[in-house]
Amino acid sequence: LYLLGSVVWSVLHVAGMVAVRKAVYALLGDHYDFGDIWVRWGYEYLKDVRTFALLVITSHAAAWFGRRLQGEARLFDLPDEGPPLEPVERPERFLVRKLGRDFLVAAADIEWLQAAGNYVNLHLRGHDYPLRSTLAGIEARLDPAVFVRVHRSYLVNLGRVVSIEPQDSGDASVHMDDGSVLPCSRRYLPALRDAAA
């Protein structure tokens, strides 16, 4: 796919540059001749493929660095020593590994959660902490008096909800105290209202 992408990239680049040059030459009353298209394009492709490879490498490096900044979370079930401080079924905190360090994140401090493929992103103070789990799986382990499902992909901490804005469609928007606006589907709206009352 990258090889095909490099060809498309080069064709677009060369075609664009030739078109611009022809237009400029025409404005000056002259004619631009690109020459033998296969020879010239082969030369241009060798330059373009290096630029394309640099863009791909930079993109992958940025994505890798972004994942490192996000870190990855896992359930903190048992302390290193002594008995558990809470039932394993409902942990009060998560052990979050980020940039090679471990941090304890209290479940009550999580502002909202979002399903993302095989992960659930824990949103906390403007940062995302991916937890390898399904949303239903983590929902079952969180306190239902604190965390409420508002959408098939979202759970919210009730203490962080500022307002619920109904929509004409029957759905709603949930305004959080961090400024985020999350979707609430009509299926979950009555339960959200009951829990917030």
Q: Taking the domains of the chain in order of start, what are their residue ranges?
A: 2-70, 77-196
d(C-alpha 14, C-alpha 44), whole Å: 7
Q: Model confidence over 62-112: pLDDT tens digits?
A: 877 776 665 554 444 444 444 444 444 677 787 766 666 777 778 888 999
Distance from C-alpha of 24 to C-alpha of 20, rounded to nearest angstrom: 6
Percentage above 70 pLDDT, the chain? 84
Residue 72: the pLDDT is 52
Could you tell me how far CA 109 lies from the centroid of its own chain? Answer: 21
Task: Work out the number of other CB atoms within 10 angstroms of the CB of residue 48.
Answer: 19
Answer yes or no: CATH 2.40.50.1020 is held by domain 77-196.
Answer: yes
